[in-house]
Amino acid sequence: MTINVIDKDGIFHIAIQGEMTIYTAVEQKNKLFECLKPDYELCIDLSAVSEIDSAGLQLLLWLKQEAPRLNLIHHSRAVVEVLELLNLASHFGDPIVLSSHWKTS
Amino acid sequence: MSEYDAALAIFMQETEELLAQMEYGLLGLEDNPGDSESINSVFRAMHTIKGTSGLFGFDDVVAFTHEVESVLDKVRRGERRIDAALISILLNCKDHAADLIKHSLETESAALPDALKATGADLIMQLAGTPAVSAKMAAASQPVDHEGQAEQAASASNHDNSGDNWLISLKFRQDALRNGIDPLSFISFLKKKGDIVAIQTLAPELPVGNQMDPESCYLHFNIIFHSELDKQAIADVFEFAEDDCDIRIIAPHSKVEHYLDLLQEQAGDDDNHVEKLGEMLINIGALTPNEVAAALQQQKQAWSQGSATAKPLGEILVEQQFTEQPVVAQALKKQQAAREKTIAEANYIRVDSAKLGQLINLVGELVISGAAMRLMVDRYGLSDVEEVAVGMNDLVSEIRDTALKLRMVAIGDTFSRFRRVVRDVSNDLHKQIELVITGGETELDKTVVEKINDPLTHLVRNALDHGIEPPEQRQASGKPAQGTVHLNAYHDSGHIVVQVADDGAGLDADKILAKAIASGLVTADQQLTKQEIFNLIFEAGLSTKEQLSNLSGRGVGMDVVRRNIEALRGSVSLDSIEGRGTTVTIHLPLTLAIIDGFMVETENERYIIPLGMIEECVEMNSSEWEIDTIQHYINLRGEVLPYLRLGDYFHNRSRHQGNEHRESLVVVRFGQAKVGLVVDQLHGEHQTVIKPLGKVFEQLQGISGATVLGNGNVALILDVQSLIQHAVKRKGPYAGAVTPH
C-alpha cells in the first residue's frame, strides 16, 4: 500500500495504490489527514486500488466530509463496484469512467 | 410452409390458448377475488403474449399488453385490489388483445386502424384511471382499519417498482469493523438474495477531523429490498452481524405507522436524513408525500411532547409485524405450489393434429392386419404361433386405445368458454344467471369437441335468452332470483352425453302442438307423448319468433342444432317441465375412428355392433321368452322388448323360415331405449376400424360405416340408434298401451 502525494497548483494529486481495507485504514487515514488543509483541493487517483472494504469506503466518505473539495478520478473496478452497490456514486458526484477492459459484471 | 409461417401458426394457437386461459382466470377471479393462482395465470398469459409478440415484432400488441401486464403485476403483488369493475376492464382488454393479434397476423406491419387505436387508448385509460378512485373509496370508507389497503392502492398509483419491498434498516455499531464484520459483504450477499431496489448509505455520526477513527464503523444503511424471501430468511443474511448492528426489517405493505415509526427513530440522527429516507419511501411508493409530511409534523410534535408517548405505539406495531409473518409464509407456500403446477402444466408436447390423424390411421391398418394374421394362425392351426399372436393382439389393442386417447380431450375447456357467454349475456339482459359445470373431465375425441361447440353455444344462448326469466318474474313464481344453467357431461354406453339444463320457464307443450298442427307438421288426431311434442321444436318448420311468440327464439335454429349433431352420429332430445325448466340432452359417439365392436352374422353376412351399446346376448328361445311374432315383442324377464330380425331388415325377407336353427338375441341399448336384434350367429369381440361409406350409401338407414375384416371381407357397422328407432316405430298402433321402460 502506498500513497503518492503531489502538490500542484493548490491541488493535492493523490494516488492510492493497493488495498483500502481495515488493515490499511489507520495508515491511510493518517497520511490523508496530512493532506487535509483548508483551501487545498484533493484529487485522488483510485486507478490502482485493488480492493476496498467498508473501512476504505468510510475513509472516502470522511474525506468528502472534510475536504473543501474532493475529486475522485480513475476509479478502479473494485471502487466502482462498491459505489454502485451502495448507491454512493452520486454522493461523491464524480464522473466515473468505466473501462472497457472490465468484463461485464 | 416456411419456418416463419410455422412459427406464426404456433404463435396463433398459443395466444389463443393463453387468451382463453386468461379469460378463465378472470372469471375465476370474479367468483374468488383472492385466488392467487388465477391472478398468476392471467398475468402469465399477458406476459407470454407480450414476449412472443415482441419476437414477431408486433409492436402494437406489445405496447398494449405491456400496460395490461403492469396493472396485473400490481394486482399480483397485492397493491391493487381486483374487483368486478377491474375484471370487466380486463376482460375487454383480453378481447382487444385478441383483436390486435388478429390484426397483426392478417395485415402484417400495416398501421393500426383508428378504431382499434381508440379502443386501446380508452382501455389503458380505464386501467390507469380506476386505482385512484378505488384508493380514494377505500380510504374514505374505512379510514382507520384499512390504512394498509389505502397505502397499497396509493403506492400502486405512485410507482411501478414497489411491491414486495422490504425496508431494511442497518445501523452498524462502532465496533463492527474491529469484530471482523464488514458491512459491505453483507450487502453484497443480500444482493444475491434478491433485488436491491434502492439503497441509502449514511454516516451520520462520522466524526469531524482527526476524531475519526478509521477502524470504527460509522455506516448506516437503509435498503429497499425486493425479494420473495420471508422475514426470517432476510434476517438470516445478517445473522453474523446481529451483535454489531441494529437491524430492523419492515415487511412489505406494513402499515404506514411502521414507516413512520422508522422515520421517527431516525429523527434522533439528523433531520436531513429523515427527509432523505422519506424521499426514498416516496420513490418506491411505500408512502405518499402527504404522509411523509404528516410524519415529519408528527415527529416534531412528538419531540415537543417528549418522545415517551410515541414509543409504546412503536412497540405494539413491531409485535404486529411478527404476527404478520405466518401470513406471508402461507402466501409464499401457495405461490410455490402455483409455480410447481405451472411446471407440471408445461410438460406437454405440441403435436400437429394431422400427424395424430395419420398415426391413428396407421393403427387402424395395424388392427386390420393383426386380425388377418390371427385368421391365418387359426386356419393353419399353428399352435406354437398362437401364443405369440395372442400377445401381439393384446399389444395392438393397447396401442389402439392409447393412440385414440391421444386425441381425447376433456370437455371442460369447451364448457368453461361458456362462462364468458353466460356472464356477458346475463349482464346484457339484466338477469342473474349462474353457470354450473359438472363432468368437465369427461373426455371425448377432439374432432367431436370442435364440432359440438356451435350447437352447444346455440343451446346455451337459448337457455339464457329464453329459458331463464327475469329476476322479478322468477321471484313472483317463487323461484330464487338467480337462475341456473347447468352444463353436464358423462359417459354412457360408449357415448358421451352432454346436457344443457336451465331452471327457467320451461316449454308449453300445448302451444307447440298447436303450432305444429297449424304448420302441418303433425295432424290433430295424432296421439303424441309430451316427449314427442317437445322434440317437434327440432323440426325445421317450427322455427321463427312470429310463430311462437312467448317462446320466441326457442325454436330458432334448433333444426340446425339437430342437423349438426346428427352429422356427428349423435342425437339430441329435449325434456321440459313447465315452470321448472328445460333440459336438452345430446348423445354423441366418443370417437369417430376405431371402436370395440361385436361381430354377428346373419344370412352369411357379417355385421358389427358397437360393443358399448350391447347390454347382453341371450338365446332366442321361444319356450323361454314369450315371443309375439306379429308385433315383434318378447318378454325378456318380465320386460317388454321390441325386437328386429337383422335378416328381415337387411335382406327384405318377408317371412321368417321357422326355428330350424338356433338364433341369438343381442340386446342393445341407446339412451333409454332398448331393442333386441335377432341374428344367426355370434362371433365375439372385434376391433373395428370405422371406414366411412361412400357418398352413394350415405342415405342408408341402419348402417353407419363399414370395416375390413382380416380375411379381406367387408363387415357393415350397424347404426344402432336408427335400428332402435325403426324397431320402436314398427311397434304399430297398439304400442302406446305397453311402452317399454
Probe site for chain A from B170, B174, B175, B177 (most A CB atoms < 10 A):
B177
Shared-domain flag, residues B392 and B417: no
pLDDT tens digits for range B221-236:
888 887 777 777 788 8
Shared-domain flag, residues B117 and B67: yes
More confident residue, B542 or B315: B542
CB contact under 8 A, A87 and B198: yes
More confident residue, B615 or B555: B615
A23 → chain B, closest CA residue: B215
Into how many domains does chain B fold?
5
Given the DSSP bridges, would you call strands B165-172 and B195-202 parallel, antiparallel or unpaired? unpaired
Range of the domain at B499: 409-589
Q: How far is A59 from chain B (nearest CA, A)?
A: 7
B219 → chain A, closest CA residue: A58
Shared-domain flag, residues B285 and B174: yes
Last residue of a domain, one of B129, B156, B183: B156
pLDDT level of residue A36 (50, 70, 90 thresholds): confident
Shared-domain flag, residues B196 and B96: no
CB contact under 8 A, B217 and A25: no
* B575 within domain boundaries: yes
8 Å CB contact between B393 and B437: no
Q: How far is A39 from chain B (nearest CA, A)?
A: 15
Chain B residues interacting with chain A (CB cutoff of 8 angstroms): 176-177, 182-185, 187-188, 191, 196, 198-201, 203, 206, 208-210, 212, 214-215, 217-219, 221
Last residue of a domain, one of B368, B385, B407: B407
Q: What is the mean pLDDT of residues A93-103?
A: 69
Shared-domain flag, residues B601 and B532: no
pLDDT tens digits for range B273-289:
555 665 666 655 555 56
pLDDT level of residue B30 (50, 70, 90 thresholds): confident
Is residue B217 pLDDT above 80, yes or no?
Answer: yes
pLDDT tens digits for range B297-336:
655 555 555 444 443 333 333 444 443 444 445 555 655 6
* B41 within domain boundaries: yes
Q: Which range (A58-67, B288-297, B359-368, B635-644) has the least confidence? A: B288-297
- Segments making up each domain of chain A, as ranges: 2-92
Residue type, B483: G
Q: How far apart are CA B627 and CA B625, in angstroms?
A: 6
From residue B566, alpha-carbon distances to B269, B379, B559, B600 in Å are: 83, 41, 10, 26
pLDDT tens digits for range B7-18:
777 888 888 888
Which residues does B564 contact at the CB level (< 8 Å), separation at least 6? B451, B454, B455
* B683 within domain boundaries: yes
Shared-domain flag, residues B430 and B537: yes
pLDDT level of residue B262 (50, 70, 90 thresholds): low
Mean pLDDT of chain B: 74
Q: How far apart are CA A8 and CA A66, in angstroms?
A: 20
Shared-domain flag, residues B237 and B322: yes
* B348 within domain boundaries: no
* B347 within domain boundaries: no
Place of cell 409504546: B312
Query: With pLDDT > 70 as the criterion, what percentage of chain B qualifies?
Result: 75
Shared-domain flag, residues B92 and B171: no
Shared-domain flag, residues B116 and B10: yes
Is residue B494 pLDDT above 80, yes or no?
Answer: no
Probe site for chain B from A54, A62, A87, A91 (most B CB atoms < 10 A):
A54
Partner B contacted by A61 (CB < 8 A): yes
Q: How far apart are CA B72 and CA B26, in angstroms?
A: 11
The domain A2-92 is placed in CATH, from the list 2.40.50.100, 1.10.287.110, 1.10.10.10, 3.30.750.24, at: 3.30.750.24
Is residue B182 pLDDT above 50, yes or no?
Answer: yes
Shared-domain flag, residues B301 and B365: no
CB contact under 8 A, B214 and A33: no
Is residue A19 pLDDT above 80, yes or no?
Answer: yes
Shared-domain flag, residues B653 and B578: no
Last residue of a domain, one of B589, B608, B639: B589
* B186 within domain boundaries: yes
pLDDT tens digits for range B558-569:
777 887 887 777
pLDDT tens digits for range B391-425:
888 898 888 878 877 878 888 888 888 888 888 88
pLDDT score recorded for residue B134: 39
Shared-domain flag, residues B302 and B376: no
8 Å CB contact between A68 and A41: yes
Cα B710 to the center of its chain, rounded Å:
43
| Residue of B198, B218, B221 lying closest to A58 (CB–CB) | B218
Residues on chain B touching A33 (C-beta within 8 angstroms)? 210
Residues on chain B touching A88 (C-beta within 8 angstroms)? 201
Mean pLDDT of chain A: 82
Here the ipTM equals 0.86
